[in-house]
Amino acid sequence: MELMEAIKRRSSIRNYQNREIEQEKLNLLLEAARLAPSASNRQEWRFIVAKEFSTRQKLMAAAKGQHFVGEAAVVLACCAETDNHIMACGQPCYPIDVAIAIDHITLKAIEEGLGTCWVGAFDENEVKKVLDIPENIRVVELLTIGYPQQVYEVGKNRLDLNEIVMYEKWEK
């Protein structure tokens, strides 16, 4: 699959088949994350793979009861073991770096016939309790992964380029 095709096909999947993900495919997704760029090559991302039904149910509760979190074959806790480094632009690097790694996973998932959904609505402290995550580690996002119930059509409701891109200066 061409990269642009994967980008066009990516969507947030909230209905999954009751089907396990082959370990080989899961390893490819995690390898895609490992190869992501990071600020000063810090590689602060850490991932906890939750496959057990009981664990996924607890994560669903921590994610405000969103049913698809418990239905996905895998819930990935996308974490950062960070020194809270601030880039010269004033932004902390760990949430950006983890997001880049997650995006690598989502695009590789499309190529492997899998679907994903970023989950930002969760109680970080509850997720930490469920997964025995130390206090100093940040849980940046949860990511559900599984075989989608249906394949979505290419074509998203997105703003046109001329609405989001400006050249040389802010033009609005």
**Which candidate, 107, 102, 84, 104, places its Cα nearest to that of 142?**
102
Tokens encoding 110 = 């499309």
* Domains of the chain (ranges, CATH numbers): 3-164 (3.40.109.10)
H or E element that contains 27: helix 23-34
Between CA 39 and CA 37 the distance in angstroms is 7
Instruction: Return per-residue pLDDT of the chain as tens, 172 residues.
Output: 799 989 988 999 999 999 999 999 999 999 999 999 999 999 999 999 999 999 999 999 999 999 999 999 999 999 999 999 999 999 999 999 999 999 999 999 999 999 999 999 999 999 999 999 999 999 999 999 999 998 766 667 889 999 999 999 998 7
Do you know the residue count of the chain?
172
